[in-house]
Amino acid sequence: MDRWLFEGKVYAEWVFRGKNLGVYEFSKDLNRSDWQLVHKHQENSFTSCATPMQEMVLPDSFPLPPLQVHLSQKSARKNGLDEKTISRRAPLALSIDPEFEHLKPFIKQETPQSKSSSIYDEVDKNVLLDLYGNELPVKVEAWNAGPAAFQPRFNATVMRVEEQPK
């Protein structure tokens, strides 16, 4: 670390919502006001969690849109193939945001228990909402712009035309 605590590397044991993620190297955003050095005898009070994070179970496939299934069946009929062999689901490869990359070991994919025509019905919404906790990660402010009003930019009654010198 430099003397202004802006740049450098810090190695620390990372505990996130009761799950020990191991020793990590922190090298970005080091000048933060919420960093705190915890003594060994205080570790239990900081690492204990009344409700630790559960494993996130997400589906390993998703239903294809009805139009795509219909067009695939139509194409199969046209080419003389059996339209019953057309898959109505596609494999789901997760693309995890770098902000949540550290949670990758806790994300599991399984076959959904109830299959639907919409992936929103197959995913437990609380699994994704629990990532943010009880508070939104952004500050929500009400805009007070006042009542709507129209202000014309040009006065239509007065025509201002000036001849340019030649």
* CA-closest candidate to residue 63, choices 111, 105, 103: 111
Cβ–Cβ under 8 Å, residues 128 and 137: no
- Distance (Å, rounded) from C-alpha 89 to C-alpha 59? 11
DSSP string across 27-49:
-SS---TT-----GGGHHHHH--
Burial class (CB in 10 A: 0-12, 13-18, 19+), 26: middle
Q: What is the pLDDT of residue 155?
A: 67
Q: What is the pLDDT of residue 65?
A: 92
Q: What is the pLDDT of residue 116?
A: 86
Query: Phi, psi at residue 62, to the nearest 5°?
Result: -135, 150
List beta partners, residue 109: 58
Per-residue pLDDT 10s for the chain (166 aa) are 677 767 788 888 888 788 888 888 877 766 666 677 788 898 888 788 887 888 888 899 999 999 999 999 999 999 999 888 888 999 999 888 887 788 888 889 999 888 888 888 888 888 877 777 666 555 656 666 667 777 777 666 666 666 777 7
Domain ranges for the chain: 1-50, 54-135
- Distance (Å, rounded) from C-alpha 160 to C-alpha 162? 7
- Distance (Å, rounded) from C-alpha 109 to C-alpha 95? 12
